[in-house]
Amino acid sequence: MPKGQDRETECHGRERDRVKPPGHCIGMGHSEWEPTNPYIIASTNKMIPAIQHLLSSAARETRPTELECDALIDAFEERLREFDRHALAAVRDVTGDQANPRLRRRPPTWSFDRMEIPVLSLPYDLADVFTETFLGGNQLAVFAETNAPLNSDLMQAIALEMNLSETVFLLPAQHPAVDARVRLYSTMTEIDFAGHPLLGTAAILACQRADDEVALRIETNVGIVPVTVRRHGGERFTGWMDQPLPQVETVPREQAARLLDVLGLKTSVLPITRYDAGIPHVYVVADDPETVRGIVPNFPALGEAAVSSRINVLALTGPNTAVTRMFSPYGRVPEDPACGSAAGPLAAHLVRHGHLASGAQITLSQGEAVGRPSTLLAVAVVESDRPTSIQVGGGVCLVGDGKLRLPERN
């Protein structure tokens, strides 16, 4: 009997000589050796319809005919011989001409770089935003500008893989007055604007400049956002951004009542109002900080009551300080550690109703409930009851970097 063959009993008790592939049974078992040669993959794929036909016959409890079995066996043997030739070639591609043809395990030096499948190499940086302490604030991943073909579906899948509240993708600027263009993704969808991603991105871009203070213009889906970043030594920065001005509308009375009921609150100190500058936020002002800290959110009910808006519950702790929580019951991060897109309209809301002076800075504490203490700074200028200028700032700590390695064909 030739090497590489054994005697096996096939359909209807008929014995056949069968060539075995090197350490891999075409999806019918497990081995550390994995076929990547396109000829191997193509040969395997040619057998799938025949195998599915026999499995379908078994599911119907109908016995395959002897002719069907013979045809499948003959075709299978032909593909296995082809498999063996190309498998040996693939092993030699990795280990050299001295490779033992009977080697049955994957070489320890196997890597994407040496496979025939093209690979996307996607470097990224990690930042903690709205904090001066490492491992606090709101986490962020920023993927560097690349020539790799990144479409919307792939960017969304990567954001889900990172599993952070937002992930940023840097793209080539399309305007000469712009330093960078970004697309922002939560774990569920692309978003037009967000606060902490822009501050974190600006700090990462500032690392490429020699100056301690850098002014940048970052293009988002809602326009160009100016951001200024100052380095404080090491990997610590402070950043301020000019935010887009929000559209303002009062929440209808019935919806406001449902929202209070779900939150377990009797009333809101100020009218419950929606502000939208790319992400819609609803604001509820509680009587005291302990009420805010004591909320146990019912996320499904909050999602129904808020109708696609994020829910912010806050209370003043002093003339220019407040504690706030932001609930986002539509994704995998249902409570945000620090929300920059909410901080600016929050300041405007307080100014509009006389609880903060126009142009005064307010300091917001957020994130304690999720173990990521954060500090956000906001300034709003309001004229004739309409916001005319909003700025949001905070600290940024650059905590690390990494690289995703993805086959171009999944």
Is the same domain home to 203 and 254? Answer: no
Residue 389 lies in a domain: yes
Q: Is the Cα torsion angle 351, 357, 362, 367 positive or negative in sign?
A: negative
Return the structure tokens found at 358: 């126009």
The pLDDT assigned to 332 comes to: 87
Phi-psi region of 27 (alpha: psi -120 to 50; beta: other; left: phi over 0): left
On whether residue 102 sits in a domain, the answer given is yes
108 in any annotated domain: yes
Q: Do 251 and 232 share a structural domain?
A: no
Distances (CA, A) of 57 to 12, 14, 54, 66: 15, 19, 5, 13
Give dist(CA 136, CA 125) in Å, integer: 16
- How many domains would you assign to the chain? 3
Question: What local confidence, expressed as pLDDT, does residue 329 receive?
Answer: 92
Q: How far apart are CA 115 and CA 274, in angstroms?
A: 52
Asked whether residue 258 falls in the same domain as residue 224, the answer is: no
Domain boundary among 98, 114, 130: 114
Check which CATH number belongs to the domain holding 211 and give it.
3.10.310.10
Phi then psi for residue 169, to 5 deg, are -120, 120
For residue 166, indicate whether it is catalytic. yes
Same domain, 190 and 258: no
Secondary structure letter of residue 44 according to DSSP: H
Tell me, yes or no, whether 368 lies in a domain: yes
pLDDT digits (tens, 9 = 90+) for 343-356: 999 999 999 999 99
Q: Which of 82, 166, 219, 335 is catalytic?
A: 166
* Gap between the Cα atoms of 225 and 361, Å rounded: 20
Report whether 302 contacts 262 (CB < 8 A): yes
3-state DSSP call for residue 384? coil
Closest to 243 in 3D by CA, of 205, 215, 276: 276
Which of 32, 33, 46 lies closest to 80, judged by CA?
A: 46
Does residue 55 fall inside a structural domain? yes
Domain shared by 177 and 225, yes or no: yes
Residues of the chain with pLDDT under 50: 1-37, 39-40, 88, 90-116
Looking at the structure, do residues 71 and 213 belong to the same domain, yes or no?
Answer: no
Nearest CA to 277 among 212, 193, 171? 193
Asked if 260 and 386 sit in the same domain, the reply is yes
| CA dist., res. 47 & res. 26, Å (int) | 9
pTM of this structure: 0.71
Question: What is the spatial distance between Cα 153 and Cα 125, in angstroms, rounded to a whole number?
Answer: 21
Is the domain of 60 the same as that of 145? no
Q: Are residues 289 and 347 in the same domain?
A: yes
pLDDT for residue 201: 98
* 132 lies in the same domain as 11: no
- 242 in any annotated domain: no
264 within a domain of the structure (yes/no): yes
Q: Of the residues 92, 114, 136, which one is the last residue of a structural domain?
A: 114
Q: Which of 114, 136, 164 is where one domain is finished?
A: 114
| Amino acid type, 233 | G
* In a shared domain, residues 190 and 252: no
DSSP assignment string, 304-325? HHHTT-EEEEEEEEETTEEEEE
Residue 270 lies in a domain: yes
> Which pLDDT score is estimated for 389?
98
196 contacts 129 by C-beta, under 8 angstroms:
yes
Domain that holds residue 207: 119-237+400-407
Q: Distance between CA atoms of 196 and 405, rounded to whole angstroms?
A: 26
Same domain, 178 and 285: no
Distance CA 245, CA 381 (A): 11
Three-state DSSP state, 24: coil
